[in-house]
Amino acid sequence: MAEATDDKLRLLIERIERLKEEQKGIGEDIRDTFNEGKSQGYDTKMMRKAIKLRSMSPQDRAEADAILQAYCCALGIQIELPLGVAA
C-alpha cells in the first residue's frame, strides 16, 4: 500500500515539475511578445493595463473607475471619464 502511495506522490510531483517547465516557457513567450510590441512602438505598460481591463467584467471596470474618480476628486486631480460615464 505504501508503495502505491509513493508512486502516486512521485507521479504528482513529476507532473507539477513538467507544468512548471511549461509555465516557464509560456512566461518567456509572453515576455517575447511584449518585447515585440515594444519594438513596434507600443507602450508595454499600456498593453498590460489593456490586458488587465479586458479580463475584468464591465461591472468591475465601472466600479474601479468610480473608485479612481473618487480618489482623484479627493486629491484634487481632474481626470477625463470614458464616454458614457458622465458624473
Start-to-end Cα distance in the chain? 67
pLDDT tens sequence across 40-76: 999 999 999 999 999 999 999 999 999 999 999 999 9
Distance CA 11, CA 13 (A): 5
Domain ranges of the chain: 2-55, 57-87
pLDDT tens sequence across 2-42: 788 999 999 999 999 999 999 999 999 999 999 999 999 99
Please tell me the number of Cα atoms within 13 Å of 28 on its side-chain side.
6
Residue 47 contacts residue 34 (beta carbons within 8 Å): yes
pTM, two decimals, is: 0.69
